[in-house]
Amino acid sequence: MRAGFRDDSADTRLALVQSAPALVIDDLGVERATPWAVETIYAILDDRIIQQRLTVATSNLPPSELEPRIRSRFAEGVVAHIIAPDFRLTKGG
């Protein structure tokens, strides 16, 4: 996502992510937490919470291991713990 924010359309792209009816964030908490990434995800989540837009996040980390400011943004939501085999291992490596 960051590469797409490097050009002049950064504000437009951010607005699209913030205003989408539904947003799925994959592997939350495993990204390298640069200051840009942290502030961008906070801005996205804060706006989506205020606008009451559906946001789904997946993570290999339990909620207790997510950064506290991220965890607090999902505190009012539903957390589903899914135990399943790693599909990458079941496909033969």
Q: Decide yes or no: CATH 3.40.920.10 for domain 2-90.
A: no
In the predicted structure, residue 17 carries a pLDDT above the cut 90: yes
**What residue segments make up the domains of the chain, in order of their start?**
2-90
d(CA 67, CA 5): 23
2 pLDDT exceeds 70?
no
More confident call, 75 vs 30? 75
pTM of the model: 0.74
Contact, 29 vs 67, CB < 8 A? yes
- For 44-86, write each residue's pLDDT tens digit: 999 999 999 999 999 888 888 888 888 898 888 888 888 888 7
Question: What is the distance between the alpha carbons of residues 41 and 28, in angstroms, rounded to a whole number?
Answer: 10
Query: Which position has the higher pLDDT, 6 or 83?
Result: 83
